[in-house]
Amino acid sequence: MKVVKRRVSEKLVEQGIIAVRNLVQVQKLAKEQNMAIIKENLPKVKEGGEGKSKGILQVLWERGFINALNLKQYTMDRRKDAYGIHQPNTSLKYLPGSCKDPKNKESLLQSMGRTMGVVVD
């Protein structure tokens, strides 16, 4: 059961008591006014990713650098193999450097122009 501060605060405001405080203070005010504290079963809300920036792991996965079947092999720095040698392909800091920038990639128009002997800039 979760105590819902907003509902208790609304009831207090109806009685002329301003309750813009933390949950414990709101509950105390409600008890002083002999009000029942409202409890509700609320479903847990899982936040979505809309309006948030992507993480490095997500970007690398979208570009095909991450093996989704073995996510535990990746670290922010890099993992060592059995011989103590650092493995750069397990580093989330190293992998973005090996991604090709789409700005530097030749477009279809430039490719067609090159085959025709024309430079398209």
Residue linked to tokens 């409202």: 38
**29-32 CB contacts, 8 Å cutoff, 24+ apart:** none
The answer, as to whether pTM is greater than 0.85, is no
The pair phi, psi for residue 75, each rounded to 5°, is -135, 170
**Is 15 a residue whose pLDDT tops 50?**
yes
For residue range 97-115, list pLDDT tens digits in order.
Answer: 776 666 677 888 988 999 9
Query: In the structure, what pLDDT confidence band is assigned to residue 2 with cuts at 50, 70 and 90?
Result: very low
Pairing of strands 2-3, 79-80: unpaired
| DSSP one-letter code for 79 | E
Q: Domain segments of the chain: what residues?
A: 2-40, 56-111
Residues 6+ apart with CB under 8 A from 26: 5, 8, 9, 12, 19
Nearest one of 100, 56, 92 to 74, comparing CA atoms:
92
